A and B are shown apart, each in its own frame.
Chain A
């Protein structure tokens, strides 16, 4: 029996606690027979002390100094026996130089959290005021890995078939109208799975669920009295630990089980889970920030520093994680492998990912070791890897992110191009034609699945607000409206903000439908922002990071109030899922390679076969030949899309179909509901097969069968 082996017996004792030299790997706290193995790295600490608490106690139960002989290289390791796994909280004190000019900021008066902590206590209930005098605020605990996954595994849906839905866990169900038990939690997200399934999406991208402190930078906005907080969570305290405050069972310490149950349920319903991960910085801020973990363990290793020891700030949040240092790189790998293996996560979206391609002094690398390692990692091999391919230091890499044949990117150029086109800007037709092909001008080598197409996301306006506001209105953030992007490419349709004007609202609805239509017929991978399908508004706030209110919370009464938009969005999503010709791993070739008589894609204008590429054009049409679906392996319907962003109706002559096939209208954003869209398979044949009239600022989608 393993627990009778000599290497699982204590050799030392201190204040009734028995321990022995441990194993340097894995890092973190690992349950072993009869005890717990603690292993922590520090290249510059002169000593390290393990600090143990009984759960919730104000003072430590014991502090055990690692004997010098318990250090292997730069790793302190110890097995402590007979611990109560359920009640254990642990941390470390590390002693060493405090010499910021050399990058050292040791402070043995602080108890620091294990970077590999799998569970973190201290923020167990959302926004419950903490004990500000706590000697150890974010307390590492052990995680139990006995969850019964049954036969669950990552779904491995081909990326070209994904339709991604970005959501914030708390926002999704915290509004009173959500009508769920335990609003704002992982558990209540499960209760909305039927809605997601009915909508047709097959992937949720969760905004950060790694443990963070919602109280960070909290302040009262004096004008309204609202408490502004770190709501979105882009400020990680613990990379390996799920946010307890998002769990209904967080107060019982069962957040791990609750997250896994949510993932298992999503998978059961054919929905993948992508996590938004924030490895570009930590919650410790700059030199004025608090010491939570990394700063007190090995500041020089974990952070990018200036030559005189200040923090480089490519994140815009005070510090930058030193991702291409081998130790930090290994931590990132360990972390993602852990989430993939233990939580069955299907993919990761990397916030400000260009930081991950910088070297230790912040210079961009042409062959970043971390990005390469992630791309080739055996455990992450089937995970989607998505980069937000820019950072706050000006490194913009959309189209040039080091991809190694694996990485996809949030395509900011797609977003900007389609926004400009739909609001009627001139000179956009050429770029639009690239966008709907999956941006081959950016991703020629990688295929269209490198392009995550989106119109909106958590950064910026919601889709409703994109068509309701010309400018941002972030006054409630308390920063004099100076925060948030200014280049929104939005258009208010004639009135700033909410209005009763019928014509303005009709146009706004049409524009929203135009956005949805183009997004869903474009090659690449579409992403939708939570609530856009039902016209969610943030009141014009395009940087709502700090509001725990209905600025962010999804108002579920919109399901009925905006039923027309929801119906349209849902049917557009279902249309994309029904037509493999819209979803491809490979770029279009702009030629007929199956002998159908039609190129895989052909371009048109108001005249068939005659696109208007001129700078004065606001119209564009294209046709996808159904026989080229999946490179000719699958037969699909032909699809024709006409986009008229001119403000008056224009006739479009239609390319003729082969004998026996007819054009049917699937969607016409210029028509009123319910004639604006039909369920896939129930499209209506058009009378005149030679031409169709597209209303001003509208999109028509025809199906040829």
Chain B
């Protein structure tokens, strides 16, 4: 059973995606589908809420990279309240330099 949930909403040019559970290779497709749905009309801002995301494997990181590259350089990506292991992973793999890490919803 996949221990992961994703929900998304779009308001204007802001997309918000909430992630919870474990983001690994078995659940990454759900996240990828949520991002892919945004691609036809890319938002200017993408906010990813990760407070309830307990774990992120390489597969999850790949989807973040996919999101960045698919939606284009113009998109500002915010990651809200990542847990420590996830924040550490983002820093070690350099992805923290491609996003804004914040404590609260920036919008």
* Cβ–Cβ contact B92 & A261, under 8 A: yes
* Cβ–Cβ contact A258 & B57, under 8 A: no
Decide: A86 near B98, CB < 8 A? Known: A247-B92, A254-B61: no
A652 to chain B, nearest CB (A): 53
* Of B25, B28, B65, B93, most A-chain CB atoms within 10 Å: B93
* Interface residue total, chain B, C-beta cutoff 8 A: 20
* Cβ–Cβ contact A86 & B59, under 8 A: yes
* Cβ–Cβ contact B93 & A258, under 8 A: yes
Chain B 58-78 near chain A by CB (<8 Å), digits 1 or 0? 110110011011000000000
Residues of A within 8 A of B91 (CB): 187
A415 at the interface (CB under 8 A from B): no
Decide: A181 near B88, CB < 8 A? Known: A86-B57, A144-B62, A253-B58: yes
Can you name the residue of chain B whose Cβ is closest to the Cβ of A253? Answer: B58
* Cβ–Cβ contact B62 & A146, under 8 A: yes
Residues of B within 8 A of A264 (CB): 94
A587 to chain B, nearest CB (A): 42
* Cβ–Cβ contact B92 & A182, under 8 A: yes
Residues of B within 8 A of A187 (CB): 91-92
Residues of A within 8 A of B59 (CB): 86
* Cβ–Cβ contact A146 & B69, under 8 A: yes
* Cβ–Cβ contact B89 & A249, under 8 A: yes
Decide: A148 near B98, CB < 8 A? Known: A253-B58, A254-B58, A254-B93: yes
* Cβ–Cβ contact B89 & A148, under 8 A: no
Residues of B within 8 A of A86 (CB): 24-25, 28, 57-59, 62
Residues of B within 8 A of A147 (CB): 65, 94
* Cβ–Cβ contact B93 & A261, under 8 A: yes
A252 at the interface (CB under 8 A from B): yes
Decide: A252 near B65, CB < 8 A? Known: A86-B59, A260-B94, A261-B94: no
Residues of B within 8 A of A144 (CB): 58, 62
A248 at the interface (CB under 8 A from B): yes
B23 to chain A, nearest CB (A): 11
Residues of B within 8 A of A148 (CB): 65, 68-69, 94-95, 98
B69 to chain A, nearest CB (A): 7
* Cβ–Cβ contact B66 & A257, under 8 A: no
A84 at the interface (CB under 8 A from B): yes
Contact partner of A252 (CB less than 8 A), chosen from B69, B89, B94, B98, is B89
Q: How many A-B residue pairs have CB under 8 A?
A: 60
Distance of A248 Cα from B89 Cα, bound (Å) = 8
A87 at the interface (CB under 8 A from B): yes
Distance of A186 Cα from B94 Cα, bound (Å) = 12
Contact partner of A248 (CB less than 8 A), chosen from B57, B68, B88, B94, is B88
Chain A 574-613 near chain B by CB (<8 Å), digits 1 or 0? 0000000000000000000000000000000000000000
B75 to chain A, nearest CB (A): 13
Give chain A interface residues in 116-151, CB to chain B under 8 Å: 144, 146-148
Give chain B interface residues in 8-66, CB to chain A under 8 Å: 24-25, 28, 57-59, 61-62, 65-66
- Interface secondary structure of A, over-half rule: loop
Give chain B interface residues in 74-89, CB to chain A under 8 Å: 88-89
Decide: A84 near B94, CB < 8 A? Known: A248-B88, A253-B58, A254-B89: no
A628 to chain B, nearest CB (A): 44
B77 to chain A, nearest CB (A): 12
Residues of B within 8 A of A261 (CB): 92-94
Give chain A interface residues in 244-267, CB to chain B under 8 Å: 247-249, 252-254, 257-258, 260-261, 264-265
Chain A 171-195 near chain B by CB (<8 Å), digits 1 or 0? 0000000000110011100000000
* Cβ–Cβ contact B62 & A258, under 8 A: no
* Of B58, B61, B65, B68, most A-chain CB atoms within 10 Å: B58
Residues of A within 8 A of B24 (CB): 86
Decide: A249 near B65, CB < 8 A? Known: A86-B28, A86-B59: no
Residues of A within 8 A of B88 (CB): 181-182, 248
* Cβ–Cβ contact A257 & B57, under 8 A: no
Can you name the residue of chain B whose Cβ is closest to the Cβ of A258? Answer: B92
Distance of A186 Cα from B91 Cα, bound (Å) = 12
Can you name the residue of chain A whose Cβ is closest to the Cβ of B85? Answer: A252
* Cβ–Cβ contact B92 & A87, under 8 A: no
B100 to chain A, nearest CB (A): 15
B59 to chain A, nearest CB (A): 4
Residues of B within 8 A of A185 (CB): 92
* Cβ–Cβ contact A257 & B25, under 8 A: no
Distance of A102 Cα from B26 Cα, bound (Å) = 48
Residues of A within 8 A of B98 (CB): 148
Decide: A84 near B25, CB < 8 A? Known: A148-B65, A148-B69: yes
B93 to chain A, nearest CB (A): 4
* Of B69, B89, B94, B95, most A-chain CB atoms within 10 Å: B94
Decide: A254 near B92, CB < 8 A? Known: A144-B62, A146-B66: yes
Residues of B within 8 A of A252 (CB): 57-58, 89
* Cβ–Cβ contact B65 & A146, under 8 A: yes
Can you name the residue of chain B whose Cβ is closest to the Cβ of A141? Answer: B58
B39 to chain A, nearest CB (A): 16
Distance of A146 Cα from B32 Cα, bound (Å) = 15
Chain A 641-656 near chain B by CB (<8 Å), digits 1 or 0? 0000000000000000
Distance of A210 Cα from B35 Cα, bound (Å) = 35
* Of A247, A252, A258, A261, most B-chain CB atoms within 10 Å: A252
List 18 additional A-B contacts (Cβ < 8 Å) besides A181-B88, A182-B92, A252-B58.
A87-B25, A146-B69, A147-B65, A187-B91, A247-B92, A248-B88, A248-B92, A249-B92, A253-B57, A253-B58, A254-B61, A254-B92, A254-B93, A257-B61, A257-B92, A258-B92, A258-B94, A265-B94
Q: List 10 A-B contacts (CB under 8 A).
A: A86-B25, A144-B62, A146-B62, A147-B65, A148-B94, A182-B92, A187-B92, A257-B92, A258-B94, A261-B93
List B residues at the A interface (Cβ < 8 Å). 24-25, 28, 57-59, 61-62, 65-66, 68-69, 88-89, 91-95, 98
Query: Closest 5 CB pairs between A and B?
Result: A261-B94, A257-B93, A86-B25, A187-B92, A86-B59
